[in-house]
Amino acid sequence: MSWYRNTVWFVKGLREYTRSGYESASKHFNPADVEVDVSGRSFLVTGANSGIGKATAKEIARRGGAVHLVCRNKERAEVAKGEIVTDTGNRNIFVHVVDISNPREIWTFAGKFKNEHKLDVLINNAGCMVNSRELTEDGLEKNFATNTLGTYILTTALLPLLEKADDARVITVSSGGMLVQKLNVSDLQSGSGTFDGTMVYAQNKRQQVVLTEQWAKAHRNIHFSVMHPGWADTPAVRSSMPDFYQKMKNMLRTEAQGADTVLWLAVSSEATKLPSGLFFQDRQPVPTHLPLASTYSPPEDEEKLMEVLEELSQKFKSVSPG
């Protein structure tokens, strides 16, 4: 069935995920949804020094929000901060240097952040697509460590802070690529078989959808959502998928178009009128499975994912400073 899923997904992508798909969908957007003042609200964006993360941070800053940029590279983060401050006039932009593939760093950062700041909206945007199997210093497969475990630890570590907020939200930037993957809890770190970075990334993105659905059930006071930004022209796409980029570069969305639904989910009152836990594309909830694709998972597999991630996260918490 994999050939079927890949083919249907690509045809769907050509129709919906490209710039023309965005332009078609945006005809039905209500501009007033995002023309809001979010002064006094605090937003944390991971992977915020470039691409969709930076575009999102900039638009939130333009609307008056305090924005915490969580980035791996301090120099690039400071450049992004300077650009955002210059473009928006908003000086409430803060840089935090954290490697989302390093669980100890995340725990340490979250502990410190909870003592020093408030938080209304968490945007899990940081991600990676490493095309050969690479291990972190902790022995974790790097895509899994960043896209899945890092997202899990940061979110769960900050839940107590989010629970204190009015209208708290968590948005995770996933990918339509997850539609070609069924959750596989038997090989979360891609240690068996041929390693395909694109499919590993898609599996991680399926895991993020499951995480969002599970969190939504467990934490009723927070609005969770996960989204697909479409195929956008970002530095990550250029570096991780050069062949795809060369074929599609004239059809790709801009970074701002890719970030539009993230912004809508983060600031609009319309977003939270919809149920928590949904998967969005162009400001609309969309199915998480292709027709006839056999990608549904039994509940026990989804529960197993949560159990394994919790066990792993606690392992690193116990040896984390502070």
- Catalytic residue numbers read 201
How many CA within 13 A on the CB side of residue 123?
A: 30
Phi, psi of 169 (to 5 degrees): -140, 150
Give, in degrees to the nearest 5, the angle at Cα 156 between 310 and 40: 175
Instruction: Note whether 277 and 217 are within 8 A (CB).
Output: yes
> Exposed, middle or buried, 286 (CB in 10 Å: 0-12/13-18/19+)?
middle
Q: DSSP letter at 253?
A: B
Radius of gyration for the chain, computed over Cα atoms and rounded to the nearest angstrom: 18
Residue 273: Cβ within 10 Å count: 8
Q: How many helices (H) and strands (E) does the chain have?
A: 12, 8
Cα–Cα distance, 277 to 298 (Å, whole number): 17
SS3 of 242-279: the string is: HHHHHHHCCCCECHHHHHHHHHHHHHCCCHHHCCCCEE
* Interaxial angle between packed helices 299-318 and 103-116, expressed in degrees from 0 to 180 and rounded to the nearest 10: 80
End-to-end C-alpha distance for the chain, whole angstroms: 48
Please list, in sequence order, all residues whose beta carbon lies within 8 angstroms of the beta carbon of residue 95, skipping any fewer than 6 positions away.
69, 71, 74, 77, 78, 81
Is residue 148 within 8 A of residue 184, CB to CB? The reply is no
Q: Decide if 251 contacts 19 (C-beta within 8 A).
A: yes
